[in-house]
Amino acid sequence: MYFSELGRPSVPIRKMVGLLLLKSLYNLSDEMVVARWIENPYYQHFTGEYVFQYDQPMNPADFSKFRKRRIGAEGAEKLLSLSIHLNKDWS
């Protein structure tokens, strides 16, 4: 169960979903998508940043927590189907 009031602030949903889509589109690991995000202004803009950032947006381990606690299996399936749809358009 996800409680938004407990613990440290969560990573914004736009950033998480954007990173998961980029991860899927480019077939990257959790660690690689975060590493590329740091050096790629296009990735940063895609995930909602307006000013170039120099620090990690999150810990790569937060992906598994996001998938399990915040969006669940149904949300992960929706993201997967969206990324498949996007990949078809790129081919």
The DSSP element (H or E) to which 63 belongs, if any, is helix 62-65
42 assigned to some structural domain: yes
4 assigned to some structural domain: no
Domain count, the chain: 1
Q: What is the pLDDT along the chain (91 residues), one digit of tens a residue?
A: 455 566 667 788 889 989 988 988 899 999 999 999 999 999 999 999 999 999 998 999 888 888 887 888 888 788 778 777 777 765 5
How high is the pLDDT of residue 6?
66
20 assigned to some structural domain: yes
Nearest Cα to Cα of residue 34 among 68, 8, 64, 4: 64
Residue-range definition of the domain harbouring residue 58: 13-70
Q: Looking at 4-89, which runs of residues are DSSP E strands? A: none
Does the pTM exceed 0.75? yes
Nearest Cα to Cα of residue 38 among 23, 22, 55: 55
Query: For residue 13, how many C-alpha atoms fall within 13 Å in the half-sphere facing its CB?
Result: 6
